[in-house]
Amino acid sequence: MDRPPKAKAIERLRKALDQAPELKQSQRGSPEFKKWYRNTQVAITNAFGNDSLHIADFNKISFSLSVFVSGTPESQFQRAYVRGLESAESVLQSMIEEIEEYWEDESQKPATSAIDQNGQIDSKEVFIVHGRDNEAKETVARFLEQLELTPVILHEQPSQGSTIIEKFERHAQAAFAVVILTPDDVGTLQGDENNLGPRARQNVIFELGFFIGRLGRKRVCALKKGDVEIPSDYAGVAYISLDDGEWKMSLVRELKSAGLAVDANLAL
């Protein structure tokens, strides 16, 4: 079975765990308990499967007296019910710790896309890394749309209460990245302040390295505008000049070479 994302599995089990203390204050067999029990079974099965030891362990928990006689005080049944909830808390906590320790984070998985028999990638998403040059960003984005691809621009995506790096990792599942290097900043070696040169913003350089590591150099294309400094570790790698009127066709060739289904006629 396909298991849910790590964060979602933890969220569901954590919800069940957090509800247990309040249930201890209710009577055994209450509608609230029955609903919680069913929802917890579903959460465990969804995370680990119907035949897992995890759901078997949970199903073994008793929330009542296994042996009793006529006239057994209700208080004893209630204590057995509370002990059952305490056992459930321990089991749920153990499951959460297992997921946290051993499941791989979705954001850390290598970006993969299904490839058909012709070597083409099924995804149409292209992440655009950019600095402060909004004109360059919009020009590239509109051109990708012209090619019937889907440009992904970080600030246009919903944050969903996440930090910037969490948001970045969540939306960095694209099949290809276009990194626009524009002269937004200036810099030089310390002590050589008389020779300041144009540089791309630090976030652009960071994301360039991120995508090279995540996608591989073949699926990352750097577009350079003006006399902007190229990172030393990237020196020697071909980039495309936005100042060149042929940049669109050059980008099309890079996209097709990386396996994206692109119709070059749409660039005309």
CB 88 within 8 A of CB 60: no
Element housing 44 (H / E): helix 31-48
| Per-residue pLDDT at 116 exceeds 50 | no
Looking at per-residue pLDDT, the higher value among 217 and 144 belongs to 144
Res 233: pLDDT: 64
Nearest-angstrom CA–CA distance, 150 and 146: 10
CB 242 within 8 A of CB 228: no
Helix (H/G/I), strand (E/B), else coil: 181:
strand
What confidence tier does 172 reach under pLDDT thresholds 50, 70, 90?
confident
Res 80: pLDDT: 95
Res 15: pLDDT: 95
Q: CA nearest 4: which of 36, 46, 42, 34?
A: 46
| Per-residue pLDDT at 227 exceeds 90 | no
Q: Which two tokens stand for residue 56?
A: 């078997």
CB 262 within 8 A of CB 118: no
| Per-residue pLDDT at 56 exceeds 60 | yes
The rounded Cα 128 to chain-centroid distance in angstroms is 17
Res 235: pLDDT: 60
What confidence tier does 122 reach under pLDDT thresholds 50, 70, 90?
low
Res 90: pLDDT: 96
CB 257 within 8 A of CB 152: no
Q: What is the pLDDT of residues 130-164, one digit of tens each?
A: 999 999 999 999 999 999 999 999 888 877 777 88
Looking at per-residue pLDDT, the higher value among 87 and 231 belongs to 87
> How many residues are listed for the chain in this entry?
268
Res 10: pLDDT: 94
Q: Which two tokens stand for residue 205?
A: 């350089």
Phi-psi region of 54 (alpha: psi -120 to 50; beta: other; left: phi over 0): alpha
Q: Which two tokens stand for residue 2?
A: 């396909």
Res 117: pLDDT: 44
Q: What is the pLDDT of residues 233-247, one digit of tens each?
A: 666 566 898 988 889
Indicate the pTM of the whole model. 0.56
